[in-house]
Structure 1
Amino acid sequence: MNISFFLAAYTNAIFSNDELLKSPTYLLGDIAEIRSGITLGRPLTGKTVSLPYLRVANVQDGYLDLSIIKEVSLLESEVDKWKLKFGDLLLTEGGDLDKLGRGTIWRGQIKNCIHQNHIFRLRVNTNEFYPEFLAAVIGSPTGKTYFQAASKQTTNLASINQRQLKAFPVFKPSLPAQKRILNKLEHIRSKIDDFRTLQSQTTAKIDALLPSILDKAFKGEL
């Protein structure tokens, strides 16, 4: 079973339901504050401080890889400008074509953390949107199709800019409707995780039995 295909099909069905399609639509730039991160290696004049920052390698599809965190120097006066806040949505600006729209939610895992300029930070009014809902829309098959079509592409690589990101259309259902969608997605992802665990356990059992089976086959005992 192609689990990724199944999840994509289910997600696409959720974001194609009548309730969502009848919701008002806005451009992402009108509902979210979008900012790229700090440029590395800038000349600095004034009092500086060194802070941890997120690189593109840290921002994966649906999670953060925080195994390696580096630091960068910036002006003390810039800290509030760049500092990430709980609930910020992080998106990479480019990479492999199938990874456009890759991102996840910042949960305040590292104190006073910022992000580099190849990562977009989206901040929404949580009275109108769940950041998780926005992340799900952007990461949906429809979202990935948009970014692939809008991106600047070279051999095996693609990138998006702020203008293209701001032009991304977003449905705005009510908060309860957003929550229902998120619950459905969480339910199917939980089931898929259970299936993957079972699949892994079954594979491990087969691998453990294989030497014995081959030994019996060579001895003509099968």
Structure 2
Amino acid sequence: MLSPKAKTGRSYYRYLRNTNVQWNRFELTDLAQMDFSPAERAKFALRSGDLLVCEGGEPGRCAVWRGEIDDCYFQKALHRVRPFEGKADSDFLCAWIRHQAFSGAFVDQNAKTTIAHLPQVRLEKLGVPDVGIDEQRRIALRLRKQLAEADAIAKAAAEQLAEIERLPQRLFARAFGEAS
């Protein structure tokens, strides 16, 4: 997708790269643009509910697209998983893939390359628990709430650590500022 043909400038559209897909979210401040033909736009178009999974970098890193940007597409280095309605829940699959990634399921001990990657054939063979759609949605909702709580705790901890790091400077300024 980064070939000279992609830079004709006729129909530039924003697209997601591997770096834009983070765990359970998208980094949308730095989107690249390139030319997409009508056929490519049909093939690489994003719909709300699409699960995007990184093939390389950090294999399995994924997030559910919720239509954050209109006319946005994705790069070939990402896998798009579009579950059948009523059969599988994107958020459940995202949580399952994250679990697999963190438990080492995508580490290939026999790989001939040092570049970590998750090819499509391997993603297709990933076993998914046989859980009904209602249960998938219930599990996914609970996990989303728990992850949001964990993110809030991590943010508060980071703010407290930053405050602690500023403390010696404040104490120093107070000790010597008052003595002057």
**RCO comparison, higher one (Cα < 8 Å, 6+):** 1
CA contact 1:138–1:144 (8 Å) conserved in 2:
no
Q: Show the counterpart of 1:72.
A: 34
Percent identity between the two aligned chains: 28
Paired residue secondary structure (1:121): strand
Structure-2 change in CA distance of 1:180 and 1:151 (3 Å):
farther
Structure-2 change in CA distance of 1:128 and 1:202 (3 Å):
same
Aligned length: 173
1:197 Cα deviation from its structure 2 partner:
3.5
1:214 Cα deviation from its structure 2 partner:
5.3
Q: Show the counterpart of 1:128.
A: 87
Distance 1:179 1:189 in 2: 15
1:12-27 alignment, distance < 5 Å? none
Distance 1:200 1:89 in 2: 29
Is it true that 1:180 corresponds to 2:138 in the alignment?
Answer: yes
Gaps of 5+ in 1: 1-38
Q: CA RMSD in A?
A: 2.7
1:148 Cα deviation from its structure 2 partner:
1.3
Structure-2 change in CA distance of 1:195 and 1:49 (3 Å):
closer
1:75 Cα deviation from its structure 2 partner:
2.0
- The letter of the residue matching 1:122 is V
Q: Deviating runs (4+, > 6 A) in structure 1?
A: 215-218
Structure-2 change in CA distance of 1:152 and 1:93 (3 Å):
farther
Q: Show the counterpart of 1:161.
A: 119
Q: Show the counterpart of 1:59.
A: 21
Is it true that 1:191 corresponds to 2:149 in the alignment?
Answer: yes
CA contact 1:93–1:160 (8 Å) conserved in 2:
yes
CA contact 1:146–1:168 (8 Å) conserved in 2:
no
Paired residue secondary structure (2:35): strand
Paired residue secondary structure (1:146): coil
The structure with the largest strand share of the pair is 1
Is it true that 1:94 corresponds to 2:37 in the alignment?
Answer: no
1:110 Cα deviation from its structure 2 partner:
1.9
Gaps of 5+ in 2: none
CA contact 1:93–1:159 (8 Å) conserved in 2:
yes
1:175 Cα deviation from its structure 2 partner:
2.0
Distance 2:30 2:101 in 1: 32
Paired residue secondary structure (2:158): helix
CA contact 1:150–1:164 (8 Å) conserved in 2:
no
- The letter of the residue matching 2:55 is E
Structure-2 change in CA distance of 1:172 and 1:66 (3 Å):
same
- The letter of the residue matching 2:50 is D
Structure-2 change in CA distance of 1:142 and 1:82 (3 Å):
closer
